[in-house]
Structure 1
Amino acid sequence: MASPRKTVRTNRRKRNSSRVPLIGMALVVIAVIAAVFFLDRAYRKQPVVQQTPPPVVERHKLPPREPEQPVAHEDYTGVIHHPAEPQRAQRPTGPGTLAVIIDDMGKGLPEARALMDIGIPLTFAIIPGLPKVRRVAEEARQRGIEVMVHLPMEPKGYPERRLEANGLLLSQGDDEIAGRVNGYLNEIPQAVGANNHMGSGFTENRQKMAVVMGVLKERGLFFVDSKTSPVSVGDAVAREMGVRTAVRNVFLDNIQESGYITNQLRQAASIARKRGNAIAICHPHPATIQTLAVELPRLRDEGITFVTVSRLVR
């Protein structure tokens, strides 16, 4: 049996031998911590070198877009400049006398009143037999608008080309023609003259036109040849028979478009300035009425004198 002293020594050795690994591990940990500490100190003492970031490559920028139509801008004086308006071509001016006849009147009152409201001397050529003949003629007379009978006459190509049922035909006898013309004048007693409605065929016939002129002479009325045929004998027969007469110079609205009508009006004004006077004929189309309302006062301001057509017959 071992002695107690020996047993104590043995146990002490065992305890000491178990402490050795623990101490070693502790020393390792301490050494690692110390190394980290000294490395950190050394790193902090080194100068800090700032790296320049790589240059940023920008995409190509387009210059700001200017407005397509410049608006008013302001300069350093604070004055606002507006873009200059395009200058209109200078219109000719000068004196001349122009008569405007409105054909085909008598269908209604609104267009008649619109034309009268322009405030320019006009002449209404009224077709007999239309619904508002008497009212249009009387209201025109009251407002100082001259009235003529618009004689419906046979056109070339009749009967394929339409004509009013009360019109004058080449196939009719002289008495029937005279009777119809007298009937027209009785229906429109305000009339001071007449012109032909259509009639490209009828106005080429000297005999038939002589019958018409005979009635107009008896009534003391004049005749304006609308010249629907370039070889019309209307004005020639009228002169031969002592009927005051005149000839149309310009048709204004063969095309019912404002620009065209304006150009035709300028042509009529040009003739009036060169020859002293001119006669223009148009119709109560909406485009015509609107254009006349603008252009007739403008022409008046430019020197044109407007008169009724009775002032120009000779």
Structure 2
Amino acid sequence: MRALGVFWLVVLAALAGGAAVLQWLGPPEGGVPPRLAQGAAPGEPPAEPAAPAKPAEPAPAPPSPVVAAAPEPASPTPAPPSAAEPAAAQAEPPALPSAPEPPPLPTPVRRAEAQPDRPIPPPDPALQEPSRYGPLPRVGPEGRTSIRAYGRSFDRGETRPRVALVVGNLGLSAALSEEAIARLPPATGLAFSPYAPRLDPLLERARLRGMEVLNAIPMEPANYPANDPGERALMTTLPPAENGDRLAWVISRLSGQVGAIGALGPMRGERFAALPELIGGVQDVLRQHGLLYVDPRPGAPSPARAWGRSVDIVVDEPATRGEIDRRLAELERIARERGSALGLAGDVTPVLVDRVAAWASGLESRGLVMAPVTALIRRPEEIPR
């Protein structure tokens, strides 16, 4: 009997030691296994499972048997899909058919770009001859003339109506002349007064812009002496030799000129030009020096004995804004009817420069092209033998 008591004492001590060890070790990871919960000692309530640790990745736990003493868990609320879930697991909208490739755009037809303005070459010594007044133009080797050497380049195949303009009386006011050279279209012809001082700087600026230069020949006008063309003017009362000497002085005043025009401001040499032999002699001299001649009288026939042309309209009589605009529009109308038209502005003024610059800026959009004077000249019909 005593031995039996010792046995039970040993068993109880072993059980107590095992319980102490289990308590020291703690519950196993993941809670009490179900089989241990079912094998609890009778009359002893099952131990509450510890809260399971959150796994690193969500994974469904194996279903465990329902413990009679545990309350029935509520049905879990489905969680929204995690961003870590593959895209294929989420619902995808039905794929739309891909749009067809658009057809290639047609290549636009590109017009040839306008070439930049080229400066007029400086005076060529081969096209000059000495005189008592200084170098005079002359016809050079192989028939080279100042008309071609100092003329502005122009596409001779151009089919649009051509308009040309000569602005006169430059050089007397340096400031106004510089403004005209800077603002007028480069195709504008500039007629300089031979009485102007210090012409070389203005001529150089004009050449750099590619502007053709003409000489303004003073000739006896209508209503002389009320209208005085100056001491070097060609007069009907002078002998031919004197007029020839004065003409040599006039054309020696400009270097790099393409020709001359018989107008000095509002005076257009009407009385002198009305005598065919006198004006014909002037044209002969200009042709022999390789120069053209522009007759400033609207409606006059083209020069018969020199390369040149007469003007179609004077655009600044009177020199008011409205009248200048009206006459420039008339110049366009003449160009459309005849294929070309040449206008003259007898005197450079601020309002003239402003109106011509505005008019020329929209010329091409109206279907016309501005041409230099050398692109409109005609061959002389009569050349004395």
Structure 1 and Structure 2 fold alike (TM over 0.5): yes
Count of matched residue positions in the alignment of Structure 1 and Structure 2: 214
CA RMSD of aligned residues (A): 1.8
Q: Distance in 1 between matches of 2:344 and 2:227?
A: 21
The one-letter code matched in structure 2 to 1:272 is A
Match of 1:82 in 2: none
CA displacement at 1:146 relative to structure 2? 0.3
Residue in 2 aligned with 1:46?
none
Deviations 1:96-116 (A, max 9, x none): 101110011111232233223
Say which SS state the counterpart of residue 153 (structure 1) adopts. coil
User: Alpha-carbon deviations, 1:65-124, whole Å to 9, x = none?
Assistant: xxxxxxxxxxxxxxxxxxxxxxxxxxxxx9410111001111123223322333441100
CA distance in 2, matches of 1:259, 1:132: 34
Structure 2: tracts of 5 or more residues without a match: 1-158, 379-385
Q: Give the aligned residue type for 1:186.
A: S
Q: Give 1:97's match in structure 2, choosing from 150, 162, 183.
A: 162
Contact 2:234-2:246 within 8 A present in 1 as well: yes
Contact 1:194–1:224 at 8 Å: present in 2 too? yes
Contact 2:168–2:190, Cα closer than 8 Å, also in 1: yes
1:286 to 350, 363, 368: 350
Contact in 2 for aligned 1:182/1:215 (Cα 8 Å): no
2:275 aligned with 1:205: yes
Deviation track 1:206-243 (CA, whole Å, cap 9, x = no partner) reads 12112211210111111111116x6x57x3xx32x3x1
How far, CA to CA, are the matches of 1:211 and 1:226 in structure 2?
Answer: 17
Deviation at 1:173, TM superposition (A): 1.1
Matched, 1:111 2:176: yes
Equivalent residue letter for 1:306: M
- 1:158 pairs with one of 207, 211, 224: 224
Q: Give the aligned partner of residue 94 of structure 2.
A: none
Structure 1 unmatched ranges of 5 or more? 1-93
Q: Which residue of 1 aligns with 2:15?
A: none
Which structure has more relative contact order (CA 8 Å, sep 6+)? It is 1
Distance in structure 2 (CA, Å) of the matches to 1:289 and 1:301: 20
Matched, 1:265 2:328: yes
TM-score (norm 1): 0.64
Amino acid at match of 2:245: G
Residue 98 of structure 1 aligns to which amino acid in structure 2?
Answer: V
Give aligned-pair identity as a percent. 23
Contact 1:177 1:211 survives alignment (8 Å):
no
- Equivalent residue number for residue 295 of structure 1: 359
Deviation at 1:295, TM superposition (A): 1.2
Distance, in Å, in 2 between the alignment partners of 1:176 and 1:134 is 27
Once the two structures are TM-superposed, the CA of residue 273 in structure 1 deviates from its matched residue by 1.2
Which residue in 2 is equivalent to 1:32? none
In structure 1, C-alpha distance between the alignment counterparts of 2:365 and 2:331, rounded to whole Å: 16
Amino acid paired to 2:269: G
How far has the Cα of 1:195 moved from its partner? 0.9
How far apart, CA to CA, are the structure 2 residues paired with 1:175 and 1:266? 43
TM superposition shift of 1:296? 1.1
**Which aligned pairs between 1:109-188 and structure 2 lie closer than 5 A?**
109-118=174-183, 119-188=185-254
Distance 2:358 2:279 in 1: 37
Conserved? CA contact 2:186–2:209, under 8 Å: no
**Residues 183-210 of structure 1, C-alpha deviations (whole Å, 9 max, x = no match):** 1111102211111112010000112112
